[in-house]
Amino acid sequence: MATETDCGSDIEAEVVIAGAGPTGLMLACELALAGVDTVVLEGLPRRIEQVKGGTIQPRTAELLEMRGLLEPLLDRATPREPVGGHFAMLPVPLDCSPWETRHPFPIGVPQWVIEEVLEERAVANGARVLHGVAVLGVEQGDGVTVAAEGVRVRANYLAACDGGHSTVRKLLGLPFPGRSGTFLAVLADIRLSAVSSLVPERAGHISELTRRVGEYWAMLVPVGGDKYRFTYGRTGQTDITRDSPVTYEEIAGALKAVYGDGAVLSAVDTSSRFSDATRQLESYRAGRVVFAGDAAHIHPPLGGQGLNLGIQDAFNLGWKLAATVQGRAPAGLIDTYQAERHPVGAQVLHHTSAQRVLTDPHPGEDVAALRDIFMDLLRLPDANRLLAGLMSGLSLGYELPGSHPLIGHRVPDVDLVTEAGSARLSALFGSGHAVLLDVAGVLPADLRIPPCVDVVRATCATESWGAAALLLRPDGYVCWATDDAADCGRTLLPAIAAELTSS
């Protein structure tokens, strides 16, 4: 863990990030990769080794692979059955294969491992990460000044990635509209000295891991050896608040009630309470402050959406903020972060709210009927594909200018033959640049392209691209494509100037 302490000093940076969770550290990786002087402030003195937020969805896996970050995470992933994700915990796995991805299944990696890998890369790229330095105040002017414990940071921009209880959001007095939580639940990393026949032996589909007994609902997930991730709630409790401590006795009682006397608790490593509150900032930007991850939106924890939404926020914001700070962004580029990511966050709030209804631990007759109808729908290929794309992030597209059908969408990570040899498409994005891909030899040899765009001339023998040339943004989405060689000179450079860089 890289830690700096410079008590009582002033620090200059181009961007300061509040929060060293997955969102903040992913943003730090992106900014530092682009050469932006970046400082991350984290209030906790050390990382909490808790499994929470430990599901990497397929689209997030693709993005991480583009930066060479997926392999070290796979090396430390939690063993699990290769099974699709879920919608509302219904026992019909979501099938991502129609979306042509190399990562069709969710990947289980403890959140603290994700943070560790991202921090290591961010620091290697040049970012500074300060632990035990809580944000205390924020002032804006031509730039932003962040007062923190023992240090003051002056920067061009502040990125607030400091979670659902964001200190930065509160300091700025920004409203966080939405719905308060209707229940409280517990997430705990526990160890068992003995197991009953009801304790799952492996991590499979979520519908196989959940149980409802009396007033309790629970999910017990094996994460290796004697360790388990235990999530539970209890209806009818009125004496518990969000700040109530989670006791050993409470966890042991819930474990016994749901999994029987044979399940013996030996230790509690970490524990916390959470709710199903649903809120979203109206604007992800307030002057020189931008918000990402849970600081911008919170929702019921269903379908492994939170961590993935935050990391994808960071991928969208990183290259735009870097170009803005370095003075090479076209007018309004930073504002496209709000235009593109706010609707995505709203969509997640919408479908997790729907899932919350379907996952009622004690459903009445109407909800039970609704669940039956949804299961029938999920068995239909088209409906399953729709929800698989939604939950995995693979169907996400942005509304970008241009009439070509590929514009605004991801493209599959195919095998290419380039001038330098064989390569996968994902391997072309390690620099964090945009990629101009000429797959039909249509680009003029003397075309002058800005240095933030890597030109790759390649062929793909396995499938038709549906375009002669494509321009992919640093986050992997197509922002220009053509089928016509004569069209390149007329539309390509204006597209680069409008979407990527003013230089």
CATH number of the structural domain spanning residue 242: 3.30.70.2450
State whether 345 and 481 are in the same domain.
no
Nearest-CA neighbor of 295 among 144, 181, 169?
Answer: 169
**Mean predicted confidence (pLDDT) in 129-147:** 96
Handedness of CA 225, 226, 232, 238 (dihedral sign): negative
Q: Confirm whether 407 is domain-assigned.
A: no
Average pLDDT score over residue span 354-359: 93
Residue 461 lies in a domain: yes
Q: What is the mean pLDDT of residues 348-362?
A: 92
Any domain includes 467: yes
Per-residue pLDDT at 3 exceeds 80: no
Name, in order, each residue with C-beta under 8 angstroms of 133's C-beta and a sequence gap of 6 or more: 5, 41, 42, 43, 148, 149, 150, 151
Provide the CATH number for the domain around residue 480.
3.40.30.120
The mean pLDDT of 238-247, rounded to a whole number, is 84
Q: Average pLDDT for residues 164-193, to the nearest whole number? A: 95
pLDDT above 70 covers a percentage of the chain that reads 97
Q: Which amino acid is at 235?
A: T
Domain match, 15 and 134 both: yes
Domain boundary among 311, 340, 358: 358
Considering 176-185, 240-249, 385-394, 480-489, the range whose residues carry the highest mean pLDDT is 385-394
Query: Rounded distance, CA 89 to CA 263, Å?
Result: 24
Q: State which of 248, 275, 302 marks the end of a domain.
A: 275
pLDDT for residue 5 is more than 60: no
Residues 6+ apart with CB under 8 A from 372: none
Count Cβ atoms within 10 A of the Cβ of residue 434 and give its class: 0-12 exposed, 13-18 middle, 19 or more buried. buried
The conformation of residue 204, written as its DSSP 8-state character, comes to -
Of all residues in the chain, what percent carry a pLDDT higher than 90? 81
pLDDT mean over 214-224: 91
Residue at 323 is within a domain: yes
Whether 254 and 325 map to the same domain: the answer is no
The whole-number pLDDT of residue 405 equals 95
CA 217 remoteness from chain centre: 27
Same domain, 21 and 49: yes
CATH number at residue 141: 3.50.50.60
Q: What is the pLDDT of residues 155-172, one digit of tens each?
A: 999 999 999 999 999 999
Per-residue pLDDT of 362-378, as tens digits, reads 888 999 999 999 999 99
Q: What is the pLDDT of residues 23-53, one digit of tens each?
A: 999 999 999 999 999 999 999 999 988 877 7
Residue 390 pLDDT grade (very low, low, confident, very high; cuts 50, 70, 90):
very high
Higher-confidence position of 242 and 380: 380
Check whether residue 188 and residue 170 sit in a common domain: no
Do 331 and 431 share a domain, yes or no? no
Are 159 and 308 contained in the same domain? yes
What ranges in 105-247 are assigned the alpha helix state H?
111-125, 167-171
Q: Do 433 and 301 share a structural domain?
A: no
Q: Which residues of 287-316 are buried (b: 16+ CB within 10 A; e: fewer)?
A: ebbbbbbbbbbbbbbbbbbbbbbbbbbbbb
Q: Quote the pLDDT of residue 363.
A: 84
Q: What is the pLDDT of residue 503?
A: 63
DSSP character string of 353-403: HHHHHHT-SS--HHHHHHHHHHHHHHTSHHHHHHHHHHHHSTT-B---S-S
Q: Are residues 64 and 430 in contact, defined by beta-carbon separation less than 8 angstroms?
A: no
Instruction: Flag whether 72 is in a domain.
Output: no
DSSP code for 208: G
Extract the tokens encoding 314. 């960071």
Tell me the average pLDDT across 346-368. 92
Give the pLDDT confidence score for residue 51 in this predicted structure.
Answer: 76
**pLDDT at 192 > cutoff 60:** yes
Q: Tell whether 397 is covered by a domain.
A: no
Q: Are both 170 and 302 inside the same structural domain? A: yes
Coil/strand/helix, residue 286: strand
Q: Is residue 429 part of a domain?
A: yes
Mean pLDDT across the stretch 402-408?
94
Average pLDDT over residues 126-133: 97
Give residue 431's domain range.
415-499
Domain boundary among 241, 275, 309: 275
pLDDT at 462 over 80: no
**Of 385 and 418, which is predicted with more confidence?**
385
If asked whether residues 288 and 437 sit together in one domain, one would say no
The count of domains in the chain is 3
Q: Examine the domain organization and report whether 262 and 286 are in the same domain.
A: no
Read off the pLDDT band of 7 (50, 70, 90): very low
What pLDDT is stored for residue 48 in this prediction? 85
Task: Examine residue 1 and state whether it is found in any structural domain, yes or no.
Answer: no
Does one domain contain both 427 and 336? no
